[in-house]
């Protein structure tokens, strides 16, 4: 099932955003991974452990946007805004499993378990109360004993620790310090939430670019998305310069030259119609 993580084209980013906008965050993560792993079924992705899912999201984020990122948080003590740099490679490798155990001993009873997946988390979230959600998770992830009632609280405690040892990327904690009041706190970093917001911002930027370039040059969405990102930026910068220029002739000419494959037929039609009017 493991394949190299491929990046997402501009077209794919828009597809993923369109598909994921109305989805729950658990489904959005699978939508993102489905786009990056086309040979892997959604069911298989739903059966990845949460840590493995998040490791893949970190790798995908690196492939799409690079390893460097900027995070923003709010100091829980003074409310000040705290900006901090992130490196997704460091986050991915900081949480290597320290245990592969699938058995723990709780009050003399051997408890066999498996690690929670997205499918399990969906069950937890569907529960009307948190306590019932935890019970469902325990019942799904504990393989033996079949009845856990007598040891329920002890199993919850021991299993939480065992899961984090075996699947540490399921919970990425970042230690932050506030430059205003000097206090420190632990931030639970959710790559699924963080990366989705970045994808949404990218998609919205692409929609704006398509709108501006289509209006200016008459290109189709497909033509615009097939341009390299740098070329799109250059065209947009040129249009912006054209809009603010007080003596725009030379810039207008340059902009038209760039779009010559479209501009020339239009110019010829315009020229022919002018001549027709002169007669
Ligand atoms: Zn503070």
In total, how many domains does the chain have? 2
Same domain flag for 80 and 35: yes
Same domain flag for 77 and 109: no
Same domain flag for 88 and 7: yes
Cross-strand pairs, 186: 175
What phi, psi does 68 have (nearest 5°)? -80, 140
Alpha carbon of 176 to ligand 1 centroid (Å): 10
Same domain flag for 23 and 40: yes
Position 10 in a domain: yes
Cα torsion through 115, 116, 119, 123, rounded to 10: 140
Position 275 in a domain: no
Alpha carbon of 188 to ligand 1 centroid (Å): 17
Position 220 in a domain: yes
Measure the CA angle with vertex 19, ends 16 and 20; round to 5°. Answer: 80
Same domain flag for 27 and 5: yes
Taking the C-alpha atoms of residue 144 and residue 138, their distance in angstroms, rounded to an integer, is 11
Q: CB count, 10 Å around CB of 219?
A: 19
Alpha carbon of 248 to ligand 1 centroid (Å): 50
Position 247 in a domain: no
Alpha carbon of 68 to ligand 1 centroid (Å): 25
Alpha carbon of 70 to ligand 1 centroid (Å): 19
**Owning domain of residue 72:** 1-94+183-225
Same domain flag for 23 and 49: yes
pLDDT 10s per residue in the chain (279 long)?
Answer: 566 677 899 999 999 999 999 999 999 999 999 999 999 999 999 999 999 999 999 999 999 999 999 999 999 999 999 999 999 888 888 777 776 668 999 888 899 999 999 999 998 888 888 888 888 898 899 998 887 788 888 888 898 888 888 888 888 899 999 999 999 999 999 999 999 999 999 999 999 999 999 999 999 999 999 998 889 989 998 888 887 664 444 444 444 444 444 444 444 444 444 333 333
Alpha carbon of 134 to ligand 1 centroid (Å): 33
Same domain flag for 61 and 187: yes
Same domain flag for 81 and 9: yes
Same domain flag for 58 and 194: yes
Position 54 in a domain: yes
């Amino acid at each position: 099932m493991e394949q190299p993580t491929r990046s997402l084209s501009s077209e794919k980013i828009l597809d993923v955003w369109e598909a994921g906008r109305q989805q729950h965050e658990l489904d959005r993560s699978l939508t993102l991974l489905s786009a990056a792993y086309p040979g892997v079924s959604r069911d298989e992705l739903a059966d990845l452990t949460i840590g493995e899912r998040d490791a893949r999201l970190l790798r995908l984020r690196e492939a799409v946007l690079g390893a460097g990122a900027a995070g923003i948080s709010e100091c829980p003590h003074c409310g000040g805004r705290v900006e901090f740099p992130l490196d997704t490679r460091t986050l991915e490798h900081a949480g290597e499993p320290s245990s592969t155990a699938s058995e723990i001993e709780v009050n003399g009873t051997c408890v066999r378990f498996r690690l929670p997946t997205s499918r399990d988390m969906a069950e937890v979230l569907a529960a009307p109360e948190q306590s019932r959600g935890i019970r469902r998770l325990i019942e799904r992830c504990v393989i033996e004993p079949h009845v856990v009632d007598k040891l329920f609280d002890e199993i919850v405690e021991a299993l939480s620790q065992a899961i984090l040892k075996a699947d540490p990327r399921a919970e990425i904690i970042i230690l932050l310090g506030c430059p205003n009041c000097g206090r420190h706190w632990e931030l639970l970093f959710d790559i699924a939430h963080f990366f989705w917001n970045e994808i949404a911002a990218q998609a919205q930027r692409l929609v704006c670019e398509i709108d501006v370039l289509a209006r200016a040059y008459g290109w189709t969405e497909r033509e615009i998305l097939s341009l390299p990102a740098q070329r799109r930026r250059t065209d947009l910068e040129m249009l912006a310069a054209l809009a603010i220029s007080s003596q725009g002739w030379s810039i207008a000419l340059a902009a038209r030259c760039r779009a010559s494959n479209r501009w020339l037929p239009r110019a010829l039609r315009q020229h022919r119609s002018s001549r027709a009017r002169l007669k």
